[in-house]
Structure 1
């Protein structure tokens, strides 16, 4: 009996010793409730977690015809032990290439006409798993020509714009539009007030797929329109660029550059960048009051940059001295400013518009709006969710005609 007890003790000690040095033995289960998740996750350079469940990929945009899933798993307890991918609705699992840091990669070559139900499973060294159901994506491969898809998306935009249908137009714009979708919506509605008999035509010069699954497009355009205010006719032509995002089985506008073909009434806020050419062709610009003019390209870009081509705003608010008066990181920031307007008597005529950016130079996104006052509290998604430096500026909107004032000075908020 004593001999048997000694043997059992020896076996127990040997097992304990093996487990004590088991950093490499990731099959030790049930010792952690810490979450397993991803630092980042991409499918063919597109943000995986931001895509909808159904993803359509274009065959001519796949590198070597392959779907590539790469990411970096994270866990607060132990290490990442394995990453596996299923492309057949969890019937089988395949191991991804996994590095020491938790970075991994998996690829496969899809077939036309076949649907792939994809899941990703991560296990840490305690056996804890990620929420596998949250990684579900249904992937299909399209043999549609990418150039044809871009042409179709652009034509839908042109048709909606020429028909002065703002709802149809905005349905073709990404929610993450770089120049702020709210301002674009407002700008095209102002266009429809400023212009009549819009006739817009285009020819695509080049199409390329790039980072984050975005599609970069260069095009030539020519345009005719009448000024609703003066009745004068205007024509122009030029080169401009768009960036599209893939969404489900279609493309949505992510950004546009000057010279704009849509949203001229707020070009200073809608456009993200300018396409410069060797010539100095005339372009059409429109101010906040709906006055249309045709000027040489260089002059037009300077007008837009100076606030006279829409977006710079009129100087009716006398904004000055925007400052941070208080705040709590990841909760809110309080702003104060000076204005020549009187909040006591004009609150019903004007609204304060607060714009936020990750850069002092924009692009800007509207994050707060209230009746005219000289102080405002901002509680945005970025404040709540991102540990970053944020920038703010304030504008005043005149409710009678929707005109926006010139922006205030820019202030910084440390949300890290």
Structure 2
């Protein structure tokens, strides 16, 4: 089964700022223009990478650069998508689906710089603003995976041996959560935790603007709570940002759930990763007691199994999760869907629905519906998510257009909107 990632973005707007049906296309284009609704390079947002980006050979899947996206032509139809890797001197035709989704792959040479441009044409020959898509891409032979691994291994070893000085050797002095607070936090961790044991695997490594390196990991951890003597275990996913200095990678920022600095989590962490676990995560309370959190304290995904009273032939969206959440501002959602948009015209077959509730058991209110594009971005605003102070719950449903039959709901995601 082919697993495809579908991404939703929800804007949490202030009360009265917009009505619930307001929408904006990702690049601010009019729906009557030929434009790109989104572009990705190796699953990283094209727009967020800045004017230039460096990828590393050792983390390029099959040594390839993969560009995906979707064009829009207002009331028209996208006729072709062409991609240049030499600043427009030559053009290559991308694979195009009927809904405007496109894909292009090429195998870069290490050390070469490629100037990318993307041309989207409707059937009348009208084009997008090609210059807006210009981006320089370079592939480095540097083993970035090894650099990041050496840093994380060094930090974990220093954390296990309770060496604050050694730990801070791997931290950027400009650490976003304040390096002094981080050092104070890990020293408090050493008091609260004994017999620290931790393992991790990489999910992804990529680079973006300003040379920063982003790494996603899955971790498993076991500690002994110093005060209670209780053995505590947890697991989850988290993210780091690194800066590169010479032959070293230094930690620039960390997201919740934290694996270091739990004693000052609010000041140390920058952002939140919704880890797919129903077990909660390790935390240290203000009294210095280590414990496993309840789901509504730190975990943002509820994976309780759904026990439906009915069945459905419509495929169910799975693994719903949220990321890049800022209270009362923005939150993005993504899930997996078992049908490939390059093989099936999803936009003329299914609608995607996002539902919201103030309780995990409902009642549920539909806050978004649109033809299902794979993947795509939606920006919406509702009164509840703009004004409500508390936990908000979301789930996704797919509806078949021809029959109005709905899939079973996805798992439920909860965000803390205090």
* Bigger relative contact order (CA 8 A; separation at least 6): 2
User: TM-score under structure 1 normalisation?
Assistant: 0.48
User: TM-score under structure 2 normalisation?
Assistant: 0.48
